[in-house]
Amino acid sequence: MAEAAKKEKNAVTPAPAPGAAPKKDFISLILLSLVTVNLIALGGMGVFMQKMWGRIHEVSEVAKKAAEAQPVENGAPKGLGKEVEAHKMGPLFPVDNILVNINSDQGPKFLQIQMELELTDPAVEEELKKKKPIVRDAILVLLSSRSYRELRESDGMTKLRADLMRSINTLLSAGRVKEIYFTQYHFN
């Protein structure tokens, strides 16, 4: 057994392959460069976040100063938030489906329309119920006086809405129509 140990000691260890040492150095170099790039990227992100945090702080300070400078009305800053204030709806009065002939260069055309009238006062609803035939007649006369081309223009519905409100409001005494909402507007 001693002889076997002597033979192993005397045995020549094989020489490493000529490309083995440089391969380990190449992998180490790649790992070192990846770690370096990651550290640089983290440092850059840290600087970026610090600048962004500073800007956010500046903007919040400016907003705070602007809010303090605003006059206060009813516990809220005056003039702020009006653009998101909800529209206060009045009572709605539905107008039944109306089908009317309209003038057209392209042959006979029909307009089918349905709408809801927003009223200023609930008392107007009772008046509209009593005057329903008169209101429908005014709507029919106005619609049939329009041409297909007028109604199809980009501002045709806007003009029609304004004319309908004016026409209906002349018939009312208890209040007025504040807005008209078309729930159906269809050409045949």
Distance CA 129, CA 135 (A): 9
Single pTM value for the model: 0.53
Distance CA 39, CA 188 (A): 70
Distance CA 160, CA 137 (A): 15
Note whether 114 and 184 are within 8 A (CB). yes
pLDDT band at 139; cut points 50, 70, 90: very high
The tens digit of pLDDT for each residue in 54-101 reads 898 888 888 888 777 766 665 555 555 555 566 688 899 999 899 998
Distance CA 58, CA 62 (A): 6
Check whether 106 has a pLDDT greater than 80. yes
- When computed from its CA atoms, the radius of gyration of the chain, rounded to whole angstroms, is 41
pLDDT of residue 167: 93
Note whether 175 and 120 are within 8 A (CB). yes
Owner of token pair 């489906």 = 97
SS3 breakdown of the chain: % helix, strand, coil, rounded to 5?
A: 55, 20, 25
**Could you give the residue ranges of the DSSP H alpha helices within 20-155?**
20-69, 122-130, 132-144, 148-152
Q: Which are the contacts of 45, defined by CB distance < 8 A and separation ≥ 6?
A: none
pLDDT of residue 103: 84
pLDDT of residue 156: 86
